[in-house]
Chains A and B, each alone.
Chain A
């Protein structure tokens, strides 16, 4: 009969229990899942069951992880993302969340750029941990992303982005995510990318506060410039940045990046 073991389809004619499949394919496994639920070794299996065999604490090989980690994604999603490089300008409330979404999506490479260090006020919304306080954000984020996907390529640029170095930093990026805090820096990098590179940029403006989530929307300014946010809610004293709202805006950026990669993939295919 046909079964799936760690998401690979197999012809299996042995004894019809989860334990027998385990002995056959991964004897060292200590956790058995059948169709998403934990089962014991004597669990009876049937055709088309999906068995996942895990050895607790073991990091799968790159090939195995790729198959397992991407198994819930649509096929076009996986095809379009494979091999792509995304630049992330600023890894605070927006950038650290965009990076996590893209790392989980199995992009090939992320270019993380920020000059800042992790400070306590960042922990209300940014993807860092208390034991990382004081460390450069790009290095801390790299460590966290590698726990999600140890095979992700990450380039850390621990410096200020300026009009002079933007092109050199993001030369290899397929898309750049603008994730800065400062309005002037946002305008600068969008201008640099649109003027001096050929890739698309997905920026954000108007993400402060905690309510009015329905005002967060997409704007397409041109074929290479996309903007997320309400355009107005600035971070000022009395109106700060909060995990849920900034997180939504950041994930809207990540979703748009993926959508653009898929469009690009479709265009190149046809």
Chain B
């Protein structure tokens, strides 16, 4: 199935949780802010949220410095 990640199409497997998706992308879930279909997804929901065809993800992985 196809989802959109930061505006770009991406093919992902079915029954994939957000948490596993982040792992596949080598992203650190502690440094990530995700908006799923324009709504922020709390970190506590990462493992139980299953991606669906057509989902739109905006994600930011923060880096240190300030």
Contact = CB atoms under 8 A, between A and B. Distances in A.
Interface of A: 90, 92-95, 179-184, 186-187, 190-191, 194-195, 203-208, 219, 221-222, 225, 227, 231-236, 241, 246
B4 to A, nearest CB: 14
Interface stretch (B12-20, B35-43, B47-55): B35-43
Interface residues of B, number: 18
Given A184-B30, A184-B31, A191-B33, A206 B63 contact: yes
Contacts of A234: 63-65
Given A191-B42, A194-B40, A195-B40, A183 B62 contact: yes
Contacts of A187: 30-33, 60, 62
A246 to B, nearest CB: 7
- Name the 10 nearest CB pairs between A and B, nearest first: A235-B65, A234-B63, A194-B40, A186-B62, A183-B62, A208-B65, A94-B66, A183-B31, A181-B66, A205-B62
Nearest to A220: B58
B23 to A, nearest CB: 16
Given A194-B40, A195-B42, A207 B33 contact: no
